[in-house]
């Protein structure tokens, strides 16, 4: 057995021992054709406000800029699927996407990758270059994972493993040591188009290409300001992320379940009750979403999403709760409360909105009030 083969075996065994479900290795090549497609994607404006993607373009294209002498990428994946209903089966309440039901994967997987990186450096007496990333690094993670044979990138743009499905978190250790490389697996989407057909906002604009600006995941997690009014209806009941294009994927029909306790759902986050969500104040939000990926949206972003979903619910029982948020300290929450109230009450809320006009000074909230009046007139 040559040295690269021996080291690759050791590293893969260690990754599995640390709890990764899948591991594969690919060369740290600079110019995969995909990097050019990524640039074209940016050029079309599909990244919306995610400016960090463009900022990291050169690093994404040339790994040498991340780690001098980079030779290999050890791609790892952890399954986060649990035995709970899909978004397409659940009824009532909001929807927090599956990946956010348990602990924040950045913490859980970051720690595992750190241990793998330490193991790799410990294999050599002399200094070895390693960089470990999960999600936030300037790395095209799906591209590297697919070249390392742990799955293919499907038409929904998620990495899918034939055996495990696509409920996977990805992470990688980049290193300057020479290893044995795995080969890519074939694309098994075939003629299927379920994800494209099911996407509520038509965000998959062509097979394998996502316009993030339309994607509910982007609108409810990444976007900082107001959700564009014309896209709010499409958000349906999603209050953080979206699972639809994975829930309908045949490769997830018999997806395996995770053994990681960290990703077990926190009870109240499964189809969460809207009344409960609308009552969360700053302390309540911090308490419920401690160590959860949802904390990223902050209360103001999360409550914005909740109000859009409540506005879409058509359920008049929520009116009093929405009214309670019309006086919130955060303008973005007041703005979306106006919209939700208009959706639930229609013309009946105009007198209330008229009263608000007198005290409101924030332009974004005023814009929503004017929108309700204009819609009532037309």
Site residues for ligand B12 per CB under 6 A: 34, 37-38, 40-41, 50, 53, 97, 99, 134-135, 139-143, 156-159, 166, 168-171, 208-210, 212, 215, 217-218, 221-222, 241-243, 245
Which of 235-274 are b and which e, b meaning 16 or more Cβ less than 10 Å from the residue's Cβ?
A: bbbbbbbbbbbbbbbebbeebeebebebbbebeebbbbeb
Rounded to whole angstroms, how far apart are CA atoms 151 and 164? 9
Q: Which two tokens stand for residue 173?
A: 């250790």
Answer for which of 134, 210, 239, 322 binds ligand SF4 (CB under 6 A) is: 210
Rounded to whole angstroms, how far apart are CA atoms 371 and 227? 14
Q: Check binding of 251 to ligand SF4 (CB under 6 A).
A: yes
103: annotated active-site residue: no
Q: Check binding of 201 to ligand SF4 (CB under 6 A).
A: yes
Residues of span 227-246 touching ligand SF4 by CB under 6 A: 242, 244-245
**What count of other Cβ atoms lies within 10 Å of the Cβ of residue 301?**
22
Closest distance to ligand SF4 from the beta carbon of 194 (Å): 4
Return the number of the residue (189 or 277) whose C-beta is nearest ligand B12.
Answer: 189
Return the number of the residue (168 or 372) whose C-beta is nearest ligand B12.
Answer: 168
In this structure, are residues 100 and 241 in contact, taking their beta carbons and an 8 Å threshold? Answer: yes
Which of 114-130 are b and which e, b meaning 16 or more Cβ less than 10 Å from the residue's Cβ?
A: ebbbebbeeeeeeeebb
> What are the two backbone dihedrals, phi and then psi, of residue 64, each rounded to the nearest 5 degrees?
-55, -30
Closest distance to ligand B12 from the beta carbon of 296 (Å): 11
In this structure, are residues 303 and 328 in contact, taking their beta carbons and an 8 Å threshold? Answer: yes
170 binds, among ligand B12, ligand SF4, none (CB under 5 to 8 A by kind): ligand B12
- The one catalytic residue in 21, 36, 118, 135 is 135
Closest distance to ligand B12 from the beta carbon of 105 (Å): 7
Closest distance to ligand B12 from the beta carbon of 231 (Å): 13
Q: Check binding of 184 to ligand SF4 (CB under 6 A).
A: no
Closest distance to ligand SF4 from the beta carbon of 189 (Å): 3
Q: Which of 312, 280, 284, 286 has the alpha carbon at shortest distance from 298?
A: 286
Residue in the shown chain whose Cβ atom is closest to ligand B12: 241
Binding residues vs ligand SF4 (CB under 6 A): 154-156, 189, 192-195, 199-201, 203-204, 210, 215-217, 242, 244-245, 248-251
């Amino acid at each position: 057995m040559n040295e690269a083969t021996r080291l690759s075996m050791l590293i893969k065994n260690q990754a599995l021992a640390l709890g990764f479900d899948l591991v594969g290795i690919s060369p740290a090549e600079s110019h995969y054709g995909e990097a050019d497609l990524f640039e074209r994607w940016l050029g079309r404006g599909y990244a919306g406000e995610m400016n960090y993607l463009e900022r990291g373009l050169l690093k994404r294209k040339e790994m040498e800029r991340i780690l001098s002498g980079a030779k290999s990428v050890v791609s790892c994946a952890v399954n986060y699927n649990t035995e709970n209903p899909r978004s397409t089966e659940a009824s009532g309440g909001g929807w927090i996407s599956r990946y956010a039901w348990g602990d924040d994967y950045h913490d859980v997987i970051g720690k595992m990758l750190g241990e793998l990186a330490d193991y790799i450096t410990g294999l050599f007496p002399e200094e070895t270059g390693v960089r470990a990333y999960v999600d936030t690094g300037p790395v095209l993670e799906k591209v590297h994972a697919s070249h390392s044979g742990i799955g293919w990138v499907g038409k929904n743009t998620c990495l899918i493993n034939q055996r495990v499905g696509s409920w996977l978190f990805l992470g990688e250790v980049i290193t300057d040591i020479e290893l044995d490389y795995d080969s890519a697996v074939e694309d098994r989407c075939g003629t299927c188009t379920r994800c494209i057909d099911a996407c509520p906002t038509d965000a998959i604009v062509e097979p394998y290409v996502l316009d993030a600006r339309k994607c509910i995941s982007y609108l409810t997690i990444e976007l900082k300001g107001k959700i564009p009014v014309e896209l709010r209806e499409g958000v349906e009941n999603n209050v953080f992320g979206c699972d639809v294009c994975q829930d309908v994927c045949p490769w997830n029909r018999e997806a395996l379940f995770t053994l990681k306790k960290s990703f077990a759902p926190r009870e109240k986050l499964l189809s969460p009750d809207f009344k409960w969500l609308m009552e969360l104040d700053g302390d309540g939000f911090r308490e419920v979403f401690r160590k959860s990926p949802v904390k990223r949206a902050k209360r103001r972003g999360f409550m914005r999403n909740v109000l859009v979903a409540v506005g879409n619910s058509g359920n008049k029982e929520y009116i009093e709760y929405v009214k309670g948020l019309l006086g919130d300290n955060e303008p973005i929450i007041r703005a979306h409360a106006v919209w939700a109230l208009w959706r639930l009450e229609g013309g009946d809320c105009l007198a209330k909105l008229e009263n608000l006009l007198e005290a409101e000074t924030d332009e974004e909230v005023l814009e929503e009030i004017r929108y309700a009046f204009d819609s009532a007139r037309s």
